[in-house]
Amino acid sequence: MDPKLLALYFVIGGLVVSVVTYFGSQGKSELAVFIAFLPGTTLITLITIYLAGGTGAAVSYAKSMLILLPAWVLYVVGVIFLLPRLGLALSLVVSVAAYLGAAFLTMKLT
């Protein structure tokens, strides 16, 4: 893989996080989520996987995104429920742990 491309991916990812953080911190959470959920990251990832590994690898990646969607929903619900009760750090630790557990279990079962 070309190191220049890795630097480009890093910059694009940082830009997206910065824009989402800006709008989220301004109370514009719907706009922030809209930007975060744009398929830009997946689009770039799918293109790079396709170029590096072909159609089969790209389709496999897309299918895996759907397979792990329930684990991601568990993570988000955990944050929503736990953040007001436990604070940021602990709610993220618990929610990420729940995501990892659900994701690993899902991967084992598929």
pLDDT beyond 90 at 10: no
* Model pLDDT for residues 82-100, shown as the tens digit of each residue: 999 999 999 999 999 999 9
pLDDT beyond 90 at 38: no
Domain ranges of the chain: 1-65, 68-110
Higher-pLDDT residue of 56 and 48 is: 56
pLDDT tier at 30 (50, 70, 90 boundaries)? very high
Report the run of H or E that residue 38 belongs to, with start and end: none
This prediction has a pTM of: 0.73
* Residue 110, CA distances (Å) to 16, 55, 64, 77, 105 in order: 32, 21, 10, 23, 9
The pLDDT value recorded for residue 57 is: 97
